[in-house]
A = this chain, B = another copy of it.
């Protein structure tokens, strides 16, 4: 069974946005054992879109279209695809009610006439409720080929794919593909690949595929098997081997868990509280911790101290330290972490101070230099990092490194 991705949107052709949906869908489809030979992007142009959909349906069994389901006149993905399948559009009362409910709930937004366009669906299509927006997903099954239409916004597309499309695609599969993901932090992609080069060399079933993420590496182990039981028997020894090789660098084998979940879980298990003191990340680290819905058990407060004055006033970093070593220094990072822990009465504290760039760097302290401090139960460790990305990327890396550092300290503490 082959699947092809067709992303619809002039903003992709103009390079306004990066096509992260394609990478997401490609990874998910590969994990489901579907072969994919083509991805395309086309704009909101009727003729070219029709041509692209026809070509994709000609050469692949399933075409997943994303984008172009919005309420505006530009949005024509549904109209064009329905026509290719020879289906008329009708107003679906369930979807109309959902759209009305969405706007009632939003209160601030008013439903406009063109929103009802999103309640039009092709005859015979499977309608997939959108829990995060107004455009429903659609599955149009033809005699031999299938088109799956998903809304473009990633926060609508991803949950819809997870909840409904992935199980749907799995049911179509003649034999099963099962996979397990393990996630690593504190190791680079090349290093991780080198450590499993021998396994990758000889792999047939299961296979191992590495995915590089910001500051993380994910390894997906995929097996073909008659059922889940048999797949587990194939995957389990490989997982054990990976645990032998990577040990504590593996922070989870739960697909939906992130590094912040893993860290918060350890803190929760041990009954420890955490606080944060951020300069260059400016709240991004705490913002990421608060992604975890149950964080209130371990996190009560955090400090954003961008200026020297704030570092002194809120965290008690001494003026001597700030003057002698500067705000971006190991000493300041240490005092920030210790001061935050004291102020918040927390068992652990993470501090981040650095030069995110692009300006502000000197020869001695270049842009990308970041100090991260980790206080835990009376002991403080500070690490120095040199990031080479742009401002945004450097700050994202700093957040991941901070979480990784705390996790290391927590696990070292345990051992």
Contacts and interface: CB of A to CB of B under 8 A. Distances in A.
Interface of A: 10-20, 22-30, 36-45, 48, 52, 70-74, 102, 105-115, 131-133, 153, 155, 159, 179, 188-191, 193-194, 200, 209-212, 218, 220, 276, 278, 280-287, 289-291, 293-296, 299-307, 309-310, 313-314, 344, 356-360, 368, 384-393, 395
Task: Give the top 10 A-B pairs by smallest Cβ distance, nearest first.
Answer: A282-B290, A15-B27, A283-B283, A15-B26, A283-B286, A301-B310, A302-B304, A284-B287, A39-B41, A300-B307
Count of chain copies: 2
A296 B306 contact: yes
- The main secondary structure of chain A at its interface with chain B is mixed
A115 B306 CA distance: 37
Given A306-B299, A389-B132, A52 B30 contact: no
A303 to B, nearest CB: 7
B27 A38 contact: no
Contacts of A211: 11, 15-16
A14 to B, nearest CB: 5
B282 A287 contact: yes
A27 B22 contact: no
A368 to B, nearest CB: 7
Nearest to A294: B359
A408 to B, nearest CB: 13
A15 B24 contact: yes
